[in-house]
Amino acid sequence: MITGIFAAYVIIWSVPAVIMSAMVSRGSIERIVLIDKQLAKNLDKYYDEKGYMRWNYQMSYSIGTRLFGYWLAYPFIRHRVTTKSKKFRLFMWVNCIGIWGWFLVPSLSLIEKAMM
């Protein structure tokens, strides 16, 4: 029962997630800059001494990969967040649960079938 509800959430979450990741990776670079400043461990890796994003990290595939990495790692790196924005935290938690759902739903369904 729980697996079915969680699976429905993951499927419903997938459509807005594709749109959100496209907006962040293909849209204004300001979105990933904010997320980097909140969650990146080492900003010097992504930004030069003047504060400009390094060229190889500006590519849309690099931004999208970084975004999905932040979604996966959020439960473990949320202590880095300095903003008090509830909107940012909600955005990250909704996407974190959705991305983890792609790993948990198949695992939970296998466990559920094994217990029957």
Q: Answer whether residue 89 is part of any domain.
A: yes
Which residue has 């880095």 as its token pair? 80
Cα–Cα dist 2/19, whole Å: 27
Q: Is the dihedral of CA 44, 51, 92, 96 positive or negative?
A: negative
Block mean pLDDT (10 aa), the chain, length 116: 86 94 92 95 93 92 96 97 95 96 91 88
Q: Answer whether residue 85 is part of any domain.
A: yes
Q: Which domain holds residue 7?
A: 2-111
**What confidence score (pLDDT) does residue 20 get?**
93
- Distances from the Cα of 47 to the Cαs of 31, 37, 63, in angstroms? 15, 10, 13
Q: Answer whether residue 116 is part of any domain.
A: no
Q: Answer whether residue 37 is part of any domain.
A: yes
**What confidence score (pLDDT) does residue 3 get?**
80
Q: Answer whether residue 62 is part of any domain.
A: yes
- Distances from the Cα of 93 to the Cαs of 12, 32, 47, 85, in angstroms? 15, 16, 26, 13
- Count of domains observed in the chain: 1
Q: Model-level pTM? A: 0.88
Helices and strands, counts by H and E, the chain: 5, 0
Q: Answer whether residue 43 is part of any domain.
A: yes
**What confidence score (pLDDT) does residue 66 get?**
96
Q: Answer whether residue 92 is part of any domain.
A: yes
**What confidence score (pLDDT) does residue 2 get?**
74
